[in-house]
Amino acid sequence: MPTAREALLDAALRALADRPWRTVRMVDVAALAGVSRQTLYNEFGTKGGLGAALLRQAADGYLTGVDRALTAPTPEHPAAVARWTVRAAEADPLVKGLLTGLWSEGLPRPGRDIPGPAQLLGLARDRMVDAAHQDASRPVVARRCELALRLALSYMIVPCPPGGAGSQCVEPDSWSPITPMITSEIDTSFSVETTSSRKTMP
């Protein structure tokens, strides 16, 4: 059975799905959750506190998905995390905002205690590096993992258009055409960084 906090967060998400955040009222969230308005205020303090809790929940959920992708039985964990990143952003506008910094008018805005795009990307990258079993140095592996995440971010910001050569990438369940591309780009970067005297991306 969900706790009062969980029920309130779920109610807030349902309210947010129906209307812009600026028009969501605390009394409506409490009614949706089946608790008193005082319970809501006791739990989150203010509407700003409720919004911050929603954003923290979204960030935690995204990172939990990263951890799941890193334990999946696949030889290409960076590609698996990239796929999850795109799917999570398409499913949850809060996750997309946290990862890209692009916020629609209808969403709560993050405060100082909410991870920004660079911080959240860094947390995901560090999890990927910690899970990797490679002979290369940690900075090289970190660059490889960050490349996978940035490819996913670029797809979120500029998705494949309907029709044309990239049309197969539009549906989040149809990643087979793009996975080899991600893997190839990662491997190319990895090769450049470990063999080039420049030690930098071209």
Assign 188 a pLDDT band (cuts: 50, 70, 90).
Answer: low
Residue 159's domain comprises 71-195
Instruction: List all residues 6 or more positions away from 6 whose beta carbon is below 8 Å from its beta carbon.
Output: none
Instruction: Flag whether 47 is in a domain.
Output: no
pLDDT at 180: 54
Instruction: Flag whether 87 is in a domain.
Output: yes
Instruction: Flag whether 122 is in a domain.
Output: yes
Extract the tokens encoding 135.
């002979």
Whether 191 has a pLDDT exceeding 80, the answer reads no
The torsion of the CA quartet 4, 9, 14, 18, rounded to 10 degrees, works out to: 130
Assign 7 a pLDDT band (cuts: 50, 70, 90).
Answer: very high
Instruction: Flag whether 170 is in a domain.
Output: yes
Instruction: Flag whether 105 is in a domain.
Output: yes
Spatial distance between the Cα atoms of 71 and 11, rounded to a whole number of angstroms: 31
Provide the number of structural domains found in the chain.
Answer: 1
Instruction: Flag whether 64 is in a domain.
Output: no
Assign 199 a pLDDT band (cuts: 50, 70, 90).
Answer: very low
Pick the range with the lowest mean pLDDT from 68-72, 75-79, 94-98: 75-79
Condensed to tens digits (0 to 9), the pLDDT of residues 24-48 reads 999 999 999 999 999 999 999 999 9
pLDDT at 139: 85
Instruction: Flag whether 86 is in a domain.
Output: yes
Higher pLDDT: 90 or 183? It is 90
Instruction: Flag whether 49 is in a domain.
Output: no
- State the amino acid at position 77 in one-letter form: H
- State the amino acid at position 39 in one-letter form: T
Average pLDDT over residues 48-72: 95
At 1 the three-state DSSP class reads coil
Instruction: List all residues 6 or more positions away from 121 whose beta carbon is below 8 Å from its beta carbon.
Output: 99, 146, 149, 150, 153
Average pLDDT, the chain: 82
